[in-house]
Amino acid sequence: MIPVTKPFLPPVEEYQSYIKDIWERQWLTNNGPIVNDLELKLKQYLGVNHLLYLSNGTIALQIAIKALGLEGEIITTPFSYVATTSSIVWEGCMPVFVDIDPETLNLDPTKIEAAITERTSAILATHVYGNPCDIDAIQAIADKYGLKVIYDAAHCFGTKYKGRSIFDYGDISTTSFHATKLFHTIEGGAVFTNNPDLLKKMAYMRNFGHSGPEAFAEIGINGKNSEFHAAMGLVNLNHITAILDRRKELSANYDQYMRHVNGFRPRIQEGTMYNFAYYPFVFESAELMQECYKRLAANNIFCRRYFYPSLAELPYVTKTSPLPVCEDIVQRVLCFPLYHSLKPEDVHLIARLVLRYQNY
């Protein structure tokens, strides 16, 4: 069987060395030394000034919305994982969907201004598949209308834009360190900001609002993460160069074959150092995608319709305008298996099957 993804797992001995230390210290959570070490090493590796390690990427989005004091409407993308939208609704705001760019599949900045109303407080955009949005255009619109910008950068570990970490943009960027991500801490996430005051506020928020044992500075939530999770992150960080290189190699292998398939790969934003987080392909037709999807599954090769359906179809939101590009793309896009232990011969098998089905 070839699944769509597998978590990277380091040599167990490397992880066990941290577990032994945790056992001896008996400090399991609540901002322990391994959590602090991970935050420091992540800042150094990513080249960012500030980050907070959290329990998951969804909490990261919720804290970002709460910390910015957002109300009313938030302009966002219909083409992302459900957490992007559900976090907006969970925090009492209304998602306003605008369509996506037909080449990058990210939020289309040319559609944003028409969706802005007096109730709009922010733009929440996803860097889909680790591919940066049109950051400059989005920031220009935000500056013009006095809006906050949050980036859902859940797919973006290792991506750079114009020589800087992708996490360095927006008022707040968030990410996920879930086990399926190319860098993971089993479960986990983070928030990033260049605003020290905002960072301090979010630091209180992730720990129930505590400013001392019996004092509270903010409304808070339990967004902390444990020493065990942070230990996995420290070990995996030692392997990150090999992980990124492997995904780039496998993606190049796919490219050799998929250029003969009717469809296209999303265009990577100019000025990007890409992390090859996923291998998405948009087929020429929904029928061809469905046929390949079913026949690969019949051969125990499991792809994912990532993302499907459009978030504007969720039962707890309102679609306020037509989204023709997104509605077309969700019917044709498929993510192929991509993970560290996948072999080039596996890629060859997958691609041969796709080419065979296309030519039936």
What is the pTM assigned to this prediction? 0.97
In the prediction, which pLDDT does 321 show?
86
pLDDT tens-digit profile of 106-146?
A: 999 999 999 999 999 999 999 999 999 999 999 999 999 99
At residue 187, the 3 state secondary structure works out as coil
Mean pLDDT, the chain, whole residue set: 97
Domains in the chain (CATH in brackets) are 12-98+105-237 (3.40.640.10), 240-358 (3.90.1150.10)
The CA distances from residue 76 to 147, 193, 311, in Å, are 13, 19, 10
Closest CA to 156 of 10, 278, 330, 336: 278
State residue 281's pLDDT score: 98
Per the structure block, which two tokens stand in for 138? 């989005």
Local confidence band at 180 (pLDDT 50, 70, 90 cut-offs) = very high
Question: How many helices (H) and strands (E) are present in the chain, helices listed first?
Answer: 11, 15
pLDDT in tens, 51-100: 999 999 999 999 999 999 999 999 999 999 999 999 999 999 999 999 99
Pair 66, 205: CB distance under 8 Å: yes
Which of these, 225, 61, 239, lies nearest to 153 by C-alpha position? 61
252: number of Cβ within 10 Å: 12
Confidence grade of residue 358 (pLDDT, cut at 50, 70, 90)? confident
CB atoms < 10 A from the CB of 6, how many? 15
pLDDT at 5 over 80: yes
Spatial CB neighbours of 323, under 8 Å, sequence gap ≥ 6: 78, 97, 98, 99, 100, 310, 312
Side chain identity at residue 100, one-letter code: I
Which strands form 333-336's sheet, in the order they lie side by side? 263-264, 279-283, 333-336
Residue 232: the pLDDT is: 98
Which pLDDT tens digit goes with each residue over 317-357?
A: 988 889 999 999 999 999 999 999 999 999 999 999 999 88
Residue 341: alpha-carbon gap to chain centroid: 21
* H/E stretch holding 257: helix 240-258
pLDDT per position as a tens digit, 145-156? 999 999 999 999
What pLDDT, on the 0 to 100 scale, is given for residue 357? Answer: 83
For residue 275, pLDDT over 70 is answered with yes
CA distance 127 to 158: 13
pLDDT given at position 359: 72
Q: What is the pLDDT at residue 360?
A: 57
**36/254 Cα distance (integer angstroms):** 39
Judge residue 40's burial from the number of C-beta atoms within 10 Å of its C-beta, 0-12 exposed, 13-18 middle, 19 or more buried.
Answer: exposed
Distance from C-alpha of 31 to C-alpha of 129, rounded to nearest angstrom: 31
Q: What is the pLDDT of residues 218-265, one digit of tens each?
A: 999 999 999 999 999 999 999 999 999 999 999 999 999 999 999 999
Q: Which two tokens stand for residue 160?
A: 């750079």
Give me the residue label for tokens 């992390």.
Answer: 275
| Among 146, 231, 153, residue whose Cα is nearest residue 189 | 153
Which residue is associated with the tokens 């992150």? Answer: 233
